[in-house]
Chains A and B, each alone.
Chain A
Amino acid sequence: MNLSMRWLKEFVTLDDMPMRDFTEAMTMSGSKVEGWETEGSEINNVIVGKVLSLEKHPDSDHMWITQIDTGSGEPVQIVTGAQNLKVGDIVPVAMDNSLLPGGKKIKKGKLRGVESNGMLCSLSELGLTKHDFPYAIEDGIFVIQEQCALGEPICKAIGFDDTKVEFEITSNRPDCFSVIGLAREAAATFHKSFSVHAPAVKAGHGSCADMLDVKVEAPDLCSIYSARIVKNVRVKPSPRWMRERLRAMGVRPINNIVDITNYVMLEYGQPMHSFDLRFIEEGKIRVRRAKDGESITTLDGVEHKLTVKNLVIADANKPIAIAGVMGGEYSGIVDDTTTIVFESACFNGASVRTTARDQGMRTDASSRYEKGLDPNNCLPALERACELVELLDAGDVLDDKIVDDHSSKERRRIQLDAEWINRFLDIQLSADEMKAILSKLECEFDGDDILVPTFRPDLQHKADIAEEIARFYGYNRIPGTALGGGAQGKYSERQKFEHTINDTMLALGASEIMTYSFISPKYYDKILMPANSPLRKSITISNPLGEDTSIMRTTALPSMLEVLSRNYNNRNADACLFELASEYLPTSEDKLPIEKTKLIVGMYGNQSDYFTVKGMAEQILEKLCVYGWEIEAAFEETSYHPGRCAVLSIEGNRLGIIGEIHPKVAENYGISDRVYCFSLDVDMMYEYAKTEKTYTPLPKFPAVTRDLALLCEDSTPVLTLEKAIVRGAGNLLEKIKLFDVYKGEQIDSTKKSVAFSIILRSGDSTLTDERIAATMKKIMKELEKAGAILRS
């Protein structure tokens, strides 16, 4: 919301103060200033001059040599290319060393050999348009028709020197979307008196009772509808003062009637509308719900299909405006309009909001209505509009106003509980001091009851009153105290568990990433997810920004691959990344999905291979004390290389997956390097993590190491042999170390040689040769059962 300082000062007398002090104080009392600017502040040393003479430039067929009187006695010679000047014209003169908007500098110089000591300016060179000065032409020098003195700075002379302040108005304060509302706040902020003049309409041009019949048929959606008729409308430009104010507020002047409606809306915060009476069939105005199937073409030429949810202003037969949003195409003021109806009404905010949203058109009026306007503001605004019509001689106002009022005049009562407020805010003000603050905001009192003005629908509870007291007492005068009570802050066990995952992954050399939780359904194709996979059933966003962010991921794999791909394309030679990522698994339609946390790790480059990721997975599981997991080759995980993928499980539940990404998937992501990933279910790891540790004494007796070179089928997993060794060695086994896997010459091509170091140790004695031999025999027996023999 822009505010003209000049307009503001019509309602509140402010001491002269630097703008910075004004904006600071307003901000601190709750009307936040986003910025401010003085019009024409970019213009310097541009003054009013009068054309004394015009003479053709000897060396140009279009330039003129002018002598300009700038009031200094000595005429100034300026060469101009404009063709619209005549002797005696009053013009803006940019003198030598002057500044124009956009940082343009004017210096004296020679134009085709003739000295020119400045420049005569057009409207646009001053940053203005024809809307600001309708009498001026666009392509020529701005010939000024204002009362002004020669030599006067141009901005002052043409009233282009107002200061406009931009406020951020919060949604609870529709009253502050107006000059009057902000003036009230300013008066309370600076302890000044505030006065709004009561509009007075002379009228005297006859009765309108038989010309217009107004009826509110939906009083739940329209608490008051008021109207007044103006005949013999004289459409012309508005006077300069009105145009200046509209401009300062960021509204383009159009003509006197349109300008009056805008002016009143800005001043009172009450949207106004004007209808051409000719187009109101039978002179009947009906405020009613639209009928299903009805439609209207609005002022902007767009046709809208209406439903019973939309409130309309209708005549005897059809809608002529969408209430509070926009008028119909024939409702506007045209050149031959003679009689108009001014509308000032209060529509239900929620209803306007829904309609504006459904019809896809938010307007200045609708955005005001939807915040909830004061029904008691309608009549003063209507009167103000008619007063301005008379002031501007824009038409003849008829005598009576037509009102259908269903609004409550009752003011809300809130008990002034000074003690509670003092305790709540930790301040000490007397009830009278509080009343003094509230009076400034036009609250009245009935004993201990505060009578809240109807323009403040936000004041409903004593906490709301506390805020009013706090903001004018000064938020920053309230002390700061430390919280009492001895609360113990802490992280939950689960949070600590996740911290451990993060720290361990970082230590293992993986960098943390953060990715969007929503993806495109196409990403499932990209990772070759089977068409019938249950993971394709995702939570779908009904109003997504685009397809790429339209569903909640059921797997974090595409997000990881996306990031790896981006790094690969950015020519980062290697990447090793992880994320604690959420996956969203739908349950039933009206229930929330299950949000699962997964640890997902991805890498390429850096000589990584399958065993690099597997090692990482093993280490994180070890660090988290998750034991007893099983691993099995997986051939049918479609995102992964069928020969290089394993599934981890624990007690038959799937814990995670490790593997090389399928080359086709990598290709889909534009990565020609090998990509490795693993993913572990954090919830399950947490469930199985052994949290309590006990100390095992360091061994007292020596260990023995025996090496075994075995021969088995190439297809036998090493894990099978390891398990056999575990079974055979029993509790003497300390460790198995694989040290060689060999295939090639000297061995049958269907076989492989596998070599282990087996470390045995007993906790209660030094192992004897006999015991070792017996154990090795048991191990060999198990190994043979598993299909391995000693390599001779």
Chain B
Amino acid sequence: MKQELEAIREKAMRELDEAKGQQILENLRIKYLGKKGELTSILKQMGGLSAEERPKIGQLANEVRAFIEADLVKRAAELKEEETLKRLEKEKIDVTLPGVRRELGAKHPLSIELDAIKEIFVGMGFEIVEGPEVEYDYYNFEALNIPKDHPARDTQDTFYINDNILLRTQTSPVQVRVMEKQKPPIRIISPGRVYRSDAVDATHSPLFHQIEGLVVDKGITFADLKGTLETFVKRMYGEDSVVRFRPHHFPFTEPSAEVDVQCFNCHGEGCRLCKGEGWIEILGCGMVHPKVLSNCGIDPEIYSGFALGMGLERVVMRKYNIDDLRLFYENDVRFLKQF
């Protein structure tokens, strides 16, 4: 019997070694260890053994069983590993093939920059106010110190609906509406569509976007205007931007200024981008004209303020090197998807 047990061990070891696949392994387990298995049938003959032999053979039989069990586990692990490797090998793909994409929408470039500008002003404590595009002449012009027959009306060729209603030529009327309603302190920007009767070409459009800002409070100075706009320009164009304030004229501000930023391309030397001037005009601004304040019911002896305005299209054109304004309103998806 001892030899038989040894033989079983030998055979099992060999067969396990040669086993390929989990099913074969399971068959072997049944063959040796199952209820009708070889080891079991030998153990059933244990009854015929002497009391002396029985424990010895019993021990050996247990050893063989333990050995086969261990070998089964080991072999199973080996086989699993082999199978995994095989599967991984089989599943190899060309990882450089293009990915499957979900369609993402593209934000309009004007929106992208407008949001960036709003973000900067919100960060400086401004709120955003919108107002009507079809507007009374009073809010668009008269309240802003531009009476009828004022020559400044010529520079803003206006679309009229009738004598008193027009398409706003600037977003300043929103500021007037705010000043009429709200007591200072006021700190707002008003972005939106504005209209001027310019025929469409690469640099003109009868409709474009402006962002105007207004601050009114006690003790607001020209230095506050400068500080605020310098901060804006640095956030917008980078900390190393160089800014200059140049006297200009707007009927609703006094003193008025245009703000230039040193040409990003030539750093002031003069190049094609800045038309040789070394500077690029980016916005207009000034201290709110006392007449405008009093038109809106704010006492200019107590309060002062500043206003600013810029055209969005020009900012975006410069940023992305877009040379034709019409592209913004044509909305070709090949254009939209670039930003």
Q: Which residues of A contact B (CB under 8 A)?
A: 27-30, 32, 35, 170-173, 349-350, 353-354, 370-371, 423-426, 458, 461, 463-464, 466-467, 470-471, 475-476, 478-492, 495, 502, 505-518, 539-545, 549, 552, 563, 566-567, 570, 572, 575-578, 582, 584, 589-590, 592-593, 595, 606
Closest residue on chain B to residue A487 by CB atoms: B125
B172 to chain A, nearest CB (A): 16
Q: How far is the CA of A489 from the CA of B122 in the complex (A)?
A: 4
- As a 0/1 sequence over residues 210 to 248 of chain B, the CB contacts with chain A under 8 angstroms (1 = contact) are 000001010111111011111100000000000011111
Closest residue on chain A to residue B139 by CB atoms: A592
Tell whether B151 is near chain A: CB-to-CB under 8 Å. yes
Closest residue on chain A to residue B222 by CB atoms: A425
Which interface residue of B135, B151, B276, B291 has the most chain A CB atoms within 10 A?
A: B151
Instruction: Find chain A residues with CB under 8 A from B246 CB.
Output: 27-28, 30, 32, 475
Assess A506 versus B104: contact at CB under 8 Å? Given A467-B247, A489-B123, A513-B336. yes
**Contact of B134 (CB < 8 Å), options: A35, A354, A584:** A584
B171 to chain A, nearest CB (A): 14
Tell whether B152 is near chain A: CB-to-CB under 8 Å. yes
Establish whether residues A502 and B107, one from each chain, have CB atoms under 8 Å apart when the complex forms. yes
Q: How far is the CA of A576 from the CA of B222 in the complex (A)?
A: 48
Provide 28 A-B residue pairs closer than 8 Å at the C-beta atoms, listed in order of the A residue: A28-B247, A32-B248, A354-B149, A370-B151, A371-B151, A424-B221, A424-B222, A425-B222, A475-B244, A480-B226, A480-B227, A481-B224, A487-B125, A487-B185, A509-B102, A511-B105, A511-B106, A512-B106, A514-B110, A514-B329, A514-B331, A515-B331, A542-B160, A552-B167, A572-B333, A582-B193, A592-B132, A595-B133
Establish whether residues A595 and B132, one from each chain, have CB atoms under 8 Å apart when the complex forms. yes
Instruction: Find chain B residues with CB under 8 A from A514 CB.
Output: 108, 110-111, 328-329, 331
Establish whether residues A467 and B223, one from each chain, have CB atoms under 8 Å apart when the complex forms. no
Establish whether residues B336 and A470, one from each chain, have CB atoms under 8 Å apart when the complex forms. no
Assess A495 versus B128: contact at CB under 8 Å? Given A171-B152, A483-B227, A506-B105. yes
Assess A467 versus B103: contact at CB under 8 Å? Given A478-B223, A513-B331. no
B51 to chain A, nearest CB (A): 60
A303 to chain B, nearest CB (A): 25
Closest residue on chain A to residue B270 by CB atoms: A20
Interface residues of B in 126-175 (CB under 8 A from A): 126-128, 132-136, 149, 151-152, 154-155, 159-162, 164-165, 167
Establish whether residues B122 and A507, one from each chain, have CB atoms under 8 Å apart when the complex forms. no
Which interface residue of B118, B154, B230 has the most chain A CB atoms within 10 A?
A: B154
Instruction: Find chain A residues with CB under 8 A from B187 CB.
Output: 483, 487, 489
Q: How far is the CA of A476 from the CA of B127 in the complex (A)?
A: 28
Closest residue on chain A to residue B197 by CB atoms: A545
Closest residue on chain A to residue B258 by CB atoms: A32
Tell whether B207 is near chain A: CB-to-CB under 8 Å. yes
Q: How far is the CA of A735 from the CA of B103 in the complex (A)?
A: 28
Instruction: Find chain A residues with CB under 8 A from B291 CB.
Output: 461
**Contact of B228 (CB < 8 Å), options: A483, A539, A541:** A483
**Interface residues of B, CB < 8 Å — how many?**
85
Instruction: Find chain B residues with CB under 8 A from A479 CB.
Output: 223, 226-227
Closest residue on chain B to residue A571 by CB atoms: B334
Instruction: Find chain B residues with CB under 8 A from A486 CB.
Output: 125
Closest residue on chain B to residue A371 by CB atoms: B151
Which interface residue of B207, B244, B256, B331 has the most chain A CB atoms within 10 A?
A: B331
Given contacts A27-B246, A466-B255, A543-B160, 4 further A-B contacts (CB under 8 A): A482-B228, A489-B123, A511-B108, A542-B161
**Contact of B329 (CB < 8 Å), options: A350, A426, A516, A578:** A516
Assess A483 versus B124: contact at CB under 8 Å? Given A171-B151, A592-B165. yes
Establish whether residues A487 and B133, one from each chain, have CB atoms under 8 Å apart when the complex forms. no
Instruction: Find chain A residues with CB under 8 A from B223 CB.
Output: 425-426, 478-481
**Contact of B287 (CB < 8 Å), options: A172, A463, A578, A582:** A463
Establish whether residues A470 and B222, one from each chain, have CB atoms under 8 Å apart when the complex forms. yes
Establish whether residues A511 and B164, one from each chain, have CB atoms under 8 Å apart when the complex forms. no
Q: How far is the CA of A30 from the CA of B275 in the complex (A)?
A: 19
Tell whether B254 is near chain A: CB-to-CB under 8 Å. yes
Establish whether residues A170 and B248, one from each chain, have CB atoms under 8 Å apart when the complex forms. yes
Establish whether residues B254 and A491, one from each chain, have CB atoms under 8 Å apart when the complex forms. no
Assess A461 versus B132: contact at CB under 8 Å? Given A481-B223, A487-B185. no
Interface residues of B in 160-209 (CB under 8 A from A): 160-162, 164-165, 167, 185, 187, 193, 197, 199-200, 206-207
Establish whether residues B105 and A481, one from each chain, have CB atoms under 8 Å apart when the complex forms. no
Instruction: Find chain B residues with CB under 8 A from A475 CB.
Output: 226, 244-247, 255, 257
Q: How far is the CA of A470 from the CA of B253 in the complex (A)?
A: 14
Q: How far is the CA of A549 from the CA of B148 in the complex (A)?
A: 25
Establish whether residues B329 and A515, one from each chain, have CB atoms under 8 Å apart when the complex forms. yes
Establish whether residues B108 and A471, one from each chain, have CB atoms under 8 Å apart when the complex forms. no
- As a 0/1 sequence over residues 66 to 84 of chain B, the CB contacts with chain A under 8 angstroms (1 = contact) are 0000000000000000000
Closest residue on chain A to residue B257 by CB atoms: A475
Instruction: Find chain B residues with CB under 8 A from A353 CB.
Output: 149, 151, 154
Establish whether residues B151 and A349, one from each chain, have CB atoms under 8 Å apart when the complex forms. yes
**Contact of A171 (CB < 8 Å), options: B126, B200, B229, B249:** B249
Establish whether residues A464 and B105, one from each chain, have CB atoms under 8 Å apart when the complex forms. no
Instruction: Find chain A residues with CB under 8 A from B309 CB.
Output: none
Q: How far is the CA of A261 from the CA of B162 in the complex (A)?
A: 41
Assess A517 versus B226: contact at CB under 8 Å? Given A489-B122, A575-B333. no
B124 to chain A, nearest CB (A): 6
Assess A483 versus B333: contact at CB under 8 Å? Given A461-B291, A506-B106. no
Q: How far is the CA of A481 from the CA of B219 in the complex (A)?
A: 12
Instruction: Find chain B residues with CB under 8 A from A491 CB.
Output: 118, 122, 127-128
Instruction: Find chain B residues with CB under 8 A from A476 CB.
Output: 244-245
Establish whether residues B334 and A593, one from each chain, have CB atoms under 8 Å apart when the complex forms. no
A387 to chain B, nearest CB (A): 31
Assess A172 versus B245: contact at CB under 8 Å? Given A425-B222, A512-B111. no
**Contact of B105 (CB < 8 Å), options: A470, A483, A578:** A578
Establish whether residues B333 and A543, one from each chain, have CB atoms under 8 Å apart when the complex forms. no
Tell whether B318 is near chain A: CB-to-CB under 8 Å. no
Assess A478 versus B108: contact at CB under 8 Å? Given A490-B127, A567-B332. no
Instruction: Find chain B residues with CB under 8 A from A566 CB.
Output: 330-332
Closest residue on chain A to residue B248 by CB atoms: A170
Establish whether residues B221 and A606, one from each chain, have CB atoms under 8 Å apart when the complex forms. no
Closest residue on chain A to residue B148 by CB atoms: A350
A425 to chain B, nearest CB (A): 5
Listed from nearest, the 10 A-B pairs whose CB atoms lie closest are A487-B125, A467-B255, A30-B247, A426-B223, A509-B103, A170-B249, A480-B227, A506-B105, A350-B149, A489-B122
Closest residue on chain A to residue B159 by CB atoms: A541
Which interface residue of A172, A483, A507, A508 has the most chain B CB atoms within 10 A?
A: A483
Instruction: Find chain B residues with CB under 8 A from A423 CB.
Output: 219, 221
Instruction: Find chain A residues with CB under 8 A from B193 CB.
Output: 517, 582
Instruction: Find chain A residues with CB under 8 A from B332 CB.
Output: 566-567, 570, 572
Establish whether residues A509 and B133, one from each chain, have CB atoms under 8 Å apart when the complex forms. no
Establish whether residues A471 and B329, one from each chain, have CB atoms under 8 Å apart when the complex forms. no
Instruction: Find chain A residues with CB under 8 A from B32 CB.
Output: none
Q: How far is the CA of A515 from the CA of B206 in the complex (A)?
A: 12
B286 to chain A, nearest CB (A): 8
Q: How far is the CA of A470 from the CA of B247 in the complex (A)?
A: 9
Q: How far is the CA of A168 from the CA of B220 in the complex (A)?
A: 30
Closest residue on chain A to residue B286 by CB atoms: A467
Establish whether residues B103 and A576, one from each chain, have CB atoms under 8 Å apart when the complex forms. yes
**Contact of B207 (CB < 8 Å), options: A29, A471, A517:** A517
Assess A478 versus B226: contact at CB under 8 Å? Given A470-B255, A590-B164. yes
A792 to chain B, nearest CB (A): 42
Tell whether B289 is near chain A: CB-to-CB under 8 Å. yes
Closest residue on chain A to residue B120 by CB atoms: A489
Establish whether residues B221 and A426, one from each chain, have CB atoms under 8 Å apart when the complex forms. yes
Closest residue on chain A to residue B164 by CB atoms: A590
Assess A512 versus B127: contact at CB under 8 Å? Given A566-B331, A572-B332. no
Q: How far is the CA of A487 from the CA of B164 in the complex (A)?
A: 36
Q: How far is the CA of A230 from the CA of B52 in the complex (A)?
A: 161
Tell whether B337 is near chain A: CB-to-CB under 8 Å. yes
